[in-house]
Amino acid sequence: MKALSYKTKSVRKEDVQRNWYIVDAENVVLGRMASKIALILQGKNKPSYTPHVDTGDYVVVVNADKIRLTGNKMDQREYKWYTGYPGGQRSTTPRKLIEKKPTAVVEKAIVGMLPRTKLGRAMSKKLFIYAGPEHKHSAQQPQKLEF
């Protein structure tokens, strides 16, 4: 009896076909949206997913300033960083961060779910976040993505 041999096809970076998606983040829960967008940026939603190749699609997020966090996370969650100086630990809440830079909360959530490698940085460059409803990618004819 002859053994069956199936070969898994690995996609080369020249053969990747990329799509454009647009997400309206108004009244959408941040974590649920971020996890689905991270999968699309990595290309894990495609049957041609290859771990060592960036097979992901482009994603445009609009209305990022109208994102929703459940519970009391808007005031109780803290984003911490260190300036590099003694006593330089700083922190802020999502509410203050949205006032200062409306796209930062969404960007932190999505990029934090991507790999921390060169490939992950390449994936994060395919993410475009806008605070309002306008964006400059209408020429790419992005498909609407619902959650």
pLDDT at 61 over 80: yes
pLDDT at 7 over 90: no
Task: Give residue-wise pLDDT tens across range 65-100.
Answer: 999 999 999 999 999 999 999 999 999 999 999 999
Task: Give residue-wise pLDDT tens across range 107-147.
Answer: 999 999 999 999 999 999 999 999 999 999 999 999 999 98
Q: What is the pTM of this model?
A: 0.92
The pLDDT value recorded for residue 147 is: 80
Give all domains of the chain, ordered by start, each with its CATH number: 17-100+121-144 (3.90.1180.10)
Give the pairing type, strands 143-144 and 20-24: parallel
Structure tokens at 3: 């053994």
Per the CB < 8 A criterion, the answer to whether 142 and 58 are in contact is: yes
In the chain, the amino acid numbered 36 is K
pLDDT at 105 over 90: yes
d(CA 109, CA 35): 8
pLDDT at 2 over 80: no
The pLDDT value recorded for residue 8 is: 79
The pLDDT value recorded for residue 121 is: 97
SS3 sequence, the chain? Answer: CCCCCCCCCCCCHHHCCCCEEEEECCCCEHHHHHHHHHHHHHCCCCCCCCCCCCCCCEEEEECHHHCECCCCHHHHCCEEEECCCCCCEEEECHHHHHHHCCCHHHHHHHHCCCCCCHHHHHHHCCEEECCCCCCCCHHHCCEECCC
